[in-house]
A and B are shown apart, each in its own frame.
Chain A
Amino acid sequence: AQKITQTQPGMFVQEKEAVTLDCTYDTSDPSYGLFWYKQPSSGEMIFLIYQGSYDQQNATEGRYSLNFQKARKSANLVISASQLGDSAMYFCAMSPLGQAGTALIFGKGTTLSVSS
């Protein structure tokens, strides 16, 4: 069965510090995509970053990077130089190839609080 696990219900970080949000996944598919979304208090879902299972390099988008360790089935999100605006809920998601109906499977989310 496909599953995403986010073990940190809440994380706290100070401005300008880096923070890592954990995500592990379970799939038997050889090809899959991994995603991170941000949900601020206003409620919308904002796409942050994508990693393909066959990508050789870890994905990077500005201050966001995805620490992809395929053997450990982990896809942690690293936010460098945290900002107050980073306070939000963060969801890890997976898209398994071949499981057409389950285009995106989500974890339960991690709430990040950034303080000044």
Chain B
Amino acid sequence: EAQVTQNPRYLITVTGKKLTVTCSQNMNHEYMSWYRQDPGLGLRQIYYSMNVEVTDKGDVPEGYKVSRKEKRNFPLILESPSPNQTSLYFCASSLSLRGLWTEAFFGQGTRLTVV
């Protein structure tokens, strides 16, 4: 089954304690991205990756890091989480078809609370 798998689904952590949210897709998609969703703000892109070893900042990259060592995996790293990073996070992957991105497949979301 084609899917994007995020872990964990729920996480409560304390300020400053490093954490990683994993994301894996089994569709051989080139493009992967992380979004955060906050009430009234919709989904905002944090980082994206066009392919292995190619990553770049989205709209709200501060406080986050990513890596893309393999095509299927795109972990999101919070080196020193702060309460303003409490949010719902989504990983997504897409395929480029004739220059246009097809629909994104989303992970189930990770609800992160930083206290």
Contacts and interface: CB of A to CB of B under 8 A. Distances in A.
Interface of A: 31-33, 35, 37, 43-45, 47, 50, 52, 91, 93, 95, 97-98, 100-109
Give me the 4 closest cross-chain CB pairs, A-B, nearest first: A108-B42, A45-B106, A106-B43, A95-B101
B100 A44 contact: no
Contacts of B88: 43
Interface in B56-115: 56, 58, 88, 90, 92, 94, 99-106, 108-109, 111
Nearest to A107: B42
A103 B94 contact: yes
Decide if the interface of chain B is mainly helix, strand, loop or mixed: strand
Nearest to B56: A101
A52 B48 contact: no
Contacts, number: 66
B78 to A, nearest CB: 20
Interface residues of B, number: 28
Scoring A33, A45, A109 by chain B CB atoms within 10 A of each residue's CB, the highest score goes to: A45
B99 A31 contact: yes
A103 B48 contact: yes
Contacts of B56: 101
Contacts of A107: 42
Given A47-B105, A109-B42, 11 more contacts: A32-B100, A33-B100, A35-B103, A43-B109, A44-B106, A44-B108, A45-B92, A103-B33, A103-B101, A104-B45, A108-B41
A104 B106 CA distance: 12
B19 to A, nearest CB: 19
A103 B91 CA distance: 13
Scoring B43, B90, B94 by chain A CB atoms within 10 A of each residue's CB, the highest score goes to: B43
A50 B103 contact: yes
A106 B106 contact: no
Given A43-B108, A43-B111, A91-B43, A101 B48 contact: yes
